[in-house]
Amino acid sequence: METFRIVLVRFSHPIGELFVILYLLFRFHMKNVLIVEDDPEIIHLLEIHLKDLHCNVIKATTGTQGLRLAIAEKPDLIILDVMLPEMDGVEVCQKIRANNILSPIMMLTAKSEEIDKVLGLEVGADDYLTKPFSVREFIARVKAIFRRQKMDDAQPVDDNQHRLMQFDALSIDVEMRKVILDGQKIELSPKEFELLTLLSSNPGKSYDRTQLLNMIWGYDFKGYEHTVNSHINRLRSKIEPDMSHPKFILTTWGVGYKFNEELVKT
């Protein structure tokens, strides 16, 4: 706020002040996107199209620099290459999630890096693009992520539409994307929260891994069903009192997973 007042002092004319106010409001609503990529041509290409989407772009060319900026800036989106100097993208992704940075992560992989693509999804990436990719597809993916964020940030119209689910000591506020367990807030990644919301909204209904993959990730992730297992395990580690005997998310043997229907939903 002090910086805001100082800037306004420099413009004594009302039109100048109005311009500054509008500019600052515009910047306030811009999405911050962190690009972690060591190829300057790809950085330049992504930056051009992100700025066309009115994004503020932050750039890093090494894994360690990208991790530092992700923790410091907590951007709205992280675009993370797999092959990076100093620290590879999979390790960066893992450490970002270990620091409770919940920003959506889109990983960039080459066709020869299939195993890295799988590992990236398993350690917490939300999406991936395989190089070479079209600009149109890149823009579509980014817009889809921002649309989901906008829907998540939208406030309920009235209290009657405010979805709040309570299962014993576990409270799930869908609109506010907030999970409380035994009075403590639980930090979940976007995909972890979406998995929990889907399962808890339909207690007792079993979903196989392919269904969860299609419903939560929504893109062409065929063949990566084991990614669901990894996300379920991370989710259980955060909400289950005893992972060896889950209370909330149960395994349906031979099928997939379900939310415990014996818990009273209030």
200: CATH: 1.10.10.10
Higher pLDDT, 33 or 213: 33
Q: What total of structural domains would you count in the chain?
A: 2
Residue 266 lies inside a defined structural domain of this protein = no
Q: Is residue 265 part of a domain?
A: no
Give a yes or no: residue 103 inside a domain: yes
Pair (15, 101) in one structural domain:
yes
User: Alpha helices of 123-250 — where are they, by DSSP H?
Assistant: 135-153, 190-201, 209-212, 226-239
Residues 146, 200 within the same domain: no
Given 135, 153, 171, the domain boundary residue is: 153
Whether the pTM exceeds 0.85: the reply is: no
Residues 125 and 163 in one domain: no
- DSSP tag of 265: B
Q: Report yes or no on 134 lying in a domain.
A: yes
Distance CA 220, CA 230 (A): 18
Size (the chain), residues: 266
Domain identity same for 148 and 218 = no
Determine phi and psi for 150, rounding to 5 degrees.
-65, -40
- Residues 142 and 242 reside in one and the same domain: no
Q: Answer whether residue 207 shows pLDDT above 90.
A: yes
Instruction: Give me the domain span that covers residue 211.
Output: 159-259
Per-residue model confidence as pLDDT tens digits over 34-83: 999 999 999 999 999 999 998 999 999 999 999 999 999 999 999 999 99
Q: Are residues 131 and 107 in the same domain?
A: yes
pLDDT tens digits for range 138-189: 998 898 888 776 655 544 434 444 578 999 899 999 888 889 999 999 988 8
